[in-house]
Amino acid sequence: MITRRTLAALPVLAAAGPTLARSKLPIVIAHRGASGERPEHTRLAYELAIAEGADFIEPDLVVTKDGHLVVRHENEIGGTTDVANRPEFAARKTTKTIDGESVTGWFTEDFTLAELKTLRARERLPQLRPGSAKFDGHAEIPTFEEVVKLAKAKGVGIYPEMKHPTYFAGLGLPLEPRLAGALKAAGLDSATAKVFVQCFEVEPLRTFGRLSKARRVMLVSQGAAPVDVASEAGIKAIAGFAEGLGPEWPLVVPVKDGALAAPTPLVGWAHAAGLQVHPWTVRAENAFLPKTLQRGAGPAAHGDATALLKALYAAGVDGVFSDFPELAVKARA
């Protein structure tokens, strides 16, 4: 097992700057459930993730027309449900501007919860994940309340993401009070609860912090971002409104010439500021791995995701998001 002593002895950490000693193993966060093996954000995916040893399951949150929190990666559901094949909903197809981008499809905010419950989930990436696609039509869209009940019953944590909160607030359907209320109702409104609330937007995290004591995580992707993760001062500023940082994994272990390079200083800076670091998202398929970790033929073949996971653990992260939680659990051991 990885211990503080073995982590401290790993030479790769020298390039990452100073880190805080950790008393616990890194957590494994099942990204949308075991979404590499079952259609994402379904009870099937969450139950498999829990069986594979995930410590947390991740529900992305959007809102229905009648104000319920439901679990979808996006409010556009044409790619993850059978709505396109449902003639009774054909007239609901429309084009909207979501966070500055034009999106055409069907949107949760145009459906009541009862209507959404008639739909069935399907695999978002069937060409890459044909095994998961075999479960198309087997599961409905869960509510956030249903996912919380499952997590509590199984003893795992939840890691909800507020999706497009500014957009939903503009519709009169704000996410922050709904999420805070749901956590309070479930007895999870504390800094010690098995909960992290994540978002790519700063102000919604600030707003949520005034409504709930649950821990917050600032998500950051490569490229342009609303926060600075390229300097220690920028990381310290994030600690003013969050307890954790969720960087896209190459911000921790970059890729150079198709191979994993030495870690950046990000983890050390974050730990010095009191932030946990939970990078996203490790996937097994060649399509998502650096060239030197790809194996077999074609983008759907599975490469050496274990090497990537071990590199992230060695860099001192406090947790990892993965579509394949079983791989993350095994790589940690």
What φ, ψ does residue 246 adopt, rounded to 5°? -115, 85
Residue 217: give its domain's CATH number. Answer: 3.20.20.190
* N- to C-terminal Cα separation, the chain: 5
- Our count of domains for the chain comes to 1
| Domain-embedded: residue 103 | no
| Domain-embedded: residue 129 | no
| Domain-embedded: residue 128 | no
Measured CA to CA, the distance from residue 204 to residue 30 in angstroms comes to: 23
| Domain-embedded: residue 118 | no
Measured CA to CA, the distance from residue 198 to residue 215 in angstroms comes to: 9
- Own/partner contacts of 125-134, CB < 8 Å, gap of 24 or more, are 127/300, 128/285, 128/287, 128/299, 128/300, 129/36, 129/37, 129/285, 129/300, 130/300, 131/37, 132/35, 132/36, 132/37, 132/38, 132/39, 133/39
| Domain-embedded: residue 169 | yes
Q: Could you give the residue numbers annotated as active site?
A: 31, 73
What was the pLDDT predicted at 24? 82
What was the pLDDT predicted at 16? 33
Which residue type is seen at 170? G
Question: In which domain, by residue range, is 158 found?
Answer: 4-74+141-332
Measured CA to CA, the distance from residue 229 to residue 83 in angstroms comes to: 39
What was the pLDDT predicted at 199? 98
Segment 267-312, tens digit of pLDDT: 999 999 999 999 999 999 999 999 999 999 999 999 999 999 999 9
The ranges of the chain with pLDDT < 50 are: 1-23
Put residue 141 in one of left, alpha, beta given phi > 0 → left and psi -120 to 50 → alpha: beta
Q: Is the pTM of this model over 0.85?
A: yes
Which residue type is seen at 81? T
Which tokens sit at 91? 């007239």
What was the pLDDT predicted at 315? 98
| Domain-embedded: residue 215 | yes
What was the pLDDT predicted at 7? 32
